[in-house]
Amino acid sequence: MKINLQLFLMFAFLSSNFSYAQNAKTNDSWTKKIAESFIERTPNYIVYDENPTKQKWNYEQGLMLNAIRQMYYHTKDKKYYEYIKRNLDQNVQPDGSITTYKVDEYNIDQIGPGRALLFVYQKTKEERYRKAADLLRHQLSTHPRTKSNGFWHKQIYPWQMWLDGLYMGAPFYSEYSKMFNSSKDFDDIIHQFELIYSKTKNVKNGLLHHAWDESKEQKWADKETGVSLHFWGRSVGWYMMALVDVLDFIPKDHPKRKLILNQLKELSDAVLKHRDSKSKVWYQILDLPDRTPNYLEASASAMFVYSFVKGVNKGYLNKKFLKAAKESWDGIIREFVVVDEKGLINLTKICSVAGLGGNPYRDGSFEYYMSEKLRTNDFKGYGPFLLAAIELEKAKIKH
């Protein structure tokens, strides 16, 4: 049995003098509700299998561990730190090796969980976490690149950069470089953003195409520009989160820090212009709201809210984006959130996955993006949902 969220929170008001309207307005306690719902569903390891026997090192794990890390900073509750360490210890061995991870696969997605390694290393100073982080950093040192020096998305996708990959690699690369005083690496990190932005930005609408093929050989790639056809919401969301997260680490005096700030401002303006005016959230394909069967999608919406609010909280964006983010948060609650019979918060209408090429071949057409299944509580939506809630609570205190 599913319970309408508004009815559930109205019941909560009767028992605790806390109304839905007040909750939506102030965002009180959303972080705890979201985080606790996640941990109750996945108490031991971050995997979809309800009876996991082995945890695979993967970017979705990394995203959720980062969200839980931010929850630890936000609440100072040790249980969140312990949850992160317990998850990492399923993979990180005493010698610093990582089970299920192979450097020579050269998959940029696998770098993402490294952020949690750096966090736990800071807390424990145990060398195995440092060695595991060094292993991921070594991958970046030898990772194949385009002729213009951008990281390939994966070895199996030669000459290609995807927007997704900037979130997978750059925040870890940035934090590692700051932590271990590798300041020269920031030139390379910023180059990744400068390159893909110049290749994927659409001059007419300001949005970014999902991917770019330097070789222009892929069926999905435009023969002149090499870019894929569509503006996939979550790919733009990954990119915006990468921007606001790497700014935590890029030195204030770096001559190209402003480039990252300008990209964030430009892209935020473009994204806001493509928000659905009625629901205040975003479509799976951002610029085609009237094309059937395009649909409102939760992960991109949560990513944009997170990026907007963090951007304002950090002083990068105009405060109009905080107002917009609050509107869109309420839209997320209306459109996507369901409370189940256990009282757990569930996020619906999350695109399970979308990519390009591969086998079977994904051609980047509108029909392809519509064909991928929707999931409830997919980590790629739930992580940004929690991150957005945390930033909104910070904003309530800060502004």
The residues annotated with a catalytic role in the active site are 164
Separation CA 193–CA 191 (nearest Å): 5
3-state secondary structure of 280: coil
Q: Which helix (H) or strand (E) holds 233?
A: helix 233-246
Could you say which DSSP state residue 373 is in?
A: P
Closest CA to 112 of 184, 71, 57, 153: 57
Strand pairing partners for 285?
232
Separation CA 393–CA 17 (nearest Å): 20
Separation CA 22–CA 41 (nearest Å): 27
In the numeric block, which tokens belong to residue 187?
Answer: 């030139």
Separation CA 329–CA 25 (nearest Å): 10
Q: Which residue has the tokens 């990252």?
A: 260
3-state secondary structure of 96: coil
Q: Is the bond into 43 cis (omega within 30 degrees of 0)? A: no
* Complete DSSP assignment for 277-338: TTTSS-BSBTT-TTSTT--B-HHHHHHHHHHHHHHHHTTSS-THHHHHHHHHHHHHHHHHEE
Separation CA 304–CA 279 (nearest Å): 14
Sign, CA torsion 9/325/207/251: negative
Separation CA 234–CA 240 (nearest Å): 10
| Rg of the chain in Å (alpha carbons) | 20
Residue 285: φ, ψ to 5° = -105, 115
